[in-house]
Amino acid sequence: MSHFLKEEAEPLDSKFYTAADEDFTYDAIVVGAGVVGPCIAKCLAQKGKKVLIVEREWQEPDRIVGELMQPGGVRALRELGMVQAINNINAQPITGYTVMYNGEKVTIDYSHKAKSGPLDLLSEDIVHDGNDKILPNDDTLNYDDFENNDRERGVAFVHGRFLTNLRNMCLKEPNVTPLAGNVIEVMKNKVGEVIGVRVDIPNGRGKCIFKAHITFVVDGVFSKYRRELASDFKTSTSSSFVGMSLFNAELPTKYNGHVILGTDHSPILVYQISPEETRILCAFNDKKTPPNITKWMQSSVQPHIPKCLRPSFDKALAEGKFRSMPNQFVTARQNNVTGLCVIGDALNMRHPLGGGGMTVGLKDTVLLMKMIGNLDFSDRETVLDELLDFHYERKKYDSVINVLSIALYSLFAADNEYLRMLQQGCFAYFQRGDDCLEKPVMFLSGVLPSPFLLTKVFFAVALYSIYLNYEKKGAVGFPVAFFQSFAILYTAAKVFTPYIYNEMIG
């Protein structure tokens, strides 16, 4: 049997994946089999492309990232014909958010599907036979609720289970060749064009060179190869999350993501990822985690945990099984190297507070397939022209999700007087309901790609914060409130403007 033909996906075990052909020039090499890599490989294979996908570790990973997918990400999976990857992994539906602020709370439902507009499904060689809909025989995801409810739905899951489903979908394609190995070099010709990769393959095969018309770098958060686009293309880190698993937790609002805020503590995120397990992520406003995590959790987090969550939280805290991750940010660069496409978290990252990472990566994949999926990859100049345009086409959605994540974290982790005023104003703005709730949650969920409207709403929150400050100070405090209004506006502009500028123009 040719190494391009497989009757079904082989087990996700690295020892099986060593048979890639060094003498063959693939249409595409995909470096990395995280969330985005298998989607690219699967869709290209269905377009008739011969694809080599290289991953160092094919076994199911155990990570605390990529566990909550916003409705925008679910819509993108539908458009890719891969939404059934969320099936049969004990995933939990997410219907909206509960925001808690100093003991008060607002429940925010996701928006109506009609306001998101119709799905833009990829062509029939990719989306067919109902693969844009979830399966009806799932124990935890109700088909009627997902498919026929008039509101958007997100989903939360154990990351490794979801990833295994994506990989299996990819490996069922006969045009996909999997390879277990560590990419140690992106290969270039004499004029700087990328022609393939050098891979260190275990089990005695050693270092091998594989060639392709285009190489997709999808090696994630800690990408070694994003700098192939520019030597100064690197992430910045200013905060971190400390996570724990809570078991059999009683959530304040079932099937909601929870954001716990306060004037004297950093944001706390809580969401259920399986029938038994709930993830809690506690923000720490430094790129390094606290030196004594237990003590910090006891003093800075535990007092702010809702009463219903305390039994499961206290038990997890006593066990001390903490996990941490840095919160990294990087603005996308243009893919301007012939034969190379950097995508996913390797290209662009935002604060995980908004849960938008998978949404951006999957929407990028949809757009990429529309722009280059039908091209002949051996026509490298035409492909490059489309990739240059891809950089600008993606801005309308990625800028909203990226900037919102940074702006919200700045407000929610407020560390000065004026940020706290904005934080209070933001929560009060949510309490107004109606349009003051719907548009923000549409931005957050990745279904309203309008940077202009995001700017308008953000500064509407700032103006409302100023109004509340005038109301609080009264006639006697009017002079103070007057001068503080300028400081609030300046703070809002400082939080928002540099990031929206970099995303849209930089």
* Signed CA dihedral, 221, 222, 223, 227: sign only: positive
Strand, coil or helix: 422: helix
- Calculate the average pLDDT of the chain: 94
Predicted TM-score of the model (pTM): 0.94
Q: pLDDT category, 167, cuts 50, 70, 90?
A: very high
CB within 8 Å of 338: residues ≥ 6 apart = 192, 193, 194, 380, 381, 384
Q: pLDDT category, 319, cuts 50, 70, 90?
A: very high
Strand, coil or helix: 181: coil
Is pLDDT above 70 for 3? no
CB within 8 Å of 428: residues ≥ 6 apart = 464, 465, 468
Looking from the CA of 394 toward its CB, the CA atoms found within 13 Å total: 32
The Cα 389–Cα 499 span in angstroms is: 21
Q: Which two tokens stand for residue 307?
A: 């009463």
DSSP 7-50: SSPPPS-GGG-----TTSEEEEEEE--SSHHHHHHHHHHHTT--
475 to 462, 463, 466: CA distances (angstroms): 21, 18, 14
Q: pLDDT category, 287, cuts 50, 70, 90?
A: confident
Q: Which two tokens stand for residue 483?
A: 């001068």
pLDDT at position 119 is 96
CB within 8 Å of 488: residues ≥ 6 apart = 418, 421, 422, 462, 465, 466, 469
